[in-house]
A and B are shown apart, each in its own frame.
Chain A
Amino acid sequence: MNVFDIIGPVMIGPSSSHTAGAVRLGRVVNKLVDNRELGRVEITLSGSFAQTYKGHGTDRALLAGIMGYKSYSPEIRDALDIADKRGIGYSFTKENIKGAHPNTARIHYFLKDGTDGVMQGASIGGGNIMVNSINGMKVEFNGDNNTILVMHEDRPGVIASVTNMMHWGYSDLNISNFRLSRQEKGGDAIMTIEVDNQPPEKLVDDIREIEHVTNAILIRRV
Chain B
Amino acid sequence: MIKYDSISQLVEKAEHRNIKISELVLEDQAAAMEMTTLQLYEKMQLNFEIMRQSVTEGLKPDQKSMSGLTGGEGYKMSEYACGEGEPLCGRQMSKAIARALAVAGCNAAMGKIVAAPTAGSCGILPGCLVTLYEDRGFQEKDIVMSMFTSGAFGMVIANKASLAGAEGGCQAECGSAAAMAAAALTELMGGTPSQCADACAIAIANQMGLVCDPVGGLVEIPCIKRNVSGLMIAFSAADMALAGISSEIPADECIDAMREVGDALPRTLRETAAGGLATTPTGKKLRDKVFKGED
A residues in contact (CB < 8 Å) with B: 1-16, 19-20, 48, 51-52, 54-57, 60, 72, 74, 76-77, 125-126
Contact = CB atoms under 8 A, between A and B. Distances in A.
A48 B217 contact: yes
Contacts of B290: 54-55
B113 A6 contact: no
Contact of B154 (A7, A13, A52, A77): A7
A10 B114 contact: yes
Interface string B48-73: 00100000000000000111010000
B43 A13 contact: no
Contacts of A3: 25, 29, 40, 44, 148, 151-152, 155
Nearest to A61: B110
B110 A10 contact: no
A54 B291 contact: yes
Contact of A52 (B65, B116, B216): B216
A8 B118 CA distance: 8
A13 B216 contact: no
Nearest to A3: B151
Given A9-B115, A13-B106, A55 B151 contact: no
Contact of A8 (B4, B25, B33, B115): B115
B113 A16 contact: no
A11 B164 contact: no
A12 B112 CA distance: 4
Contact of A6 (B108, B151, B164): B151
Interface in B151-203: 151-152, 154-155, 158-159, 163-164, 166, 180
Nearest to B116: A7
B contact residues, range = 35 or more
Contacts of A14: 65-66, 107-110, 119-120, 218-220
Nearest to B32: A2
B115 A55 contact: no
Interface string B261-295: 00000000000000000000000000000110010
Interface string B212-247: 000011111000000000000000000000000000
B258 interface: no
A2 B270 CA distance: 26
B143 interface: no
Contact of A13 (B40, B122, B163): B122
A7 B110 contact: no
A12 B122 CA distance: 11
A77 B65 CA distance: 11
Contact of B150 (A1, A7, A48, A55): A7
Contacts of A8: 47, 114-116
B166 A13 contact: no
- Choose among B109, B113, B115, B148 the residue with the greatest number of A CB atoms under 10 Å from its CB: B115
A11 B119 contact: yes
Interface string B114-134: 111111101001000000000
Contacts of B294: 54
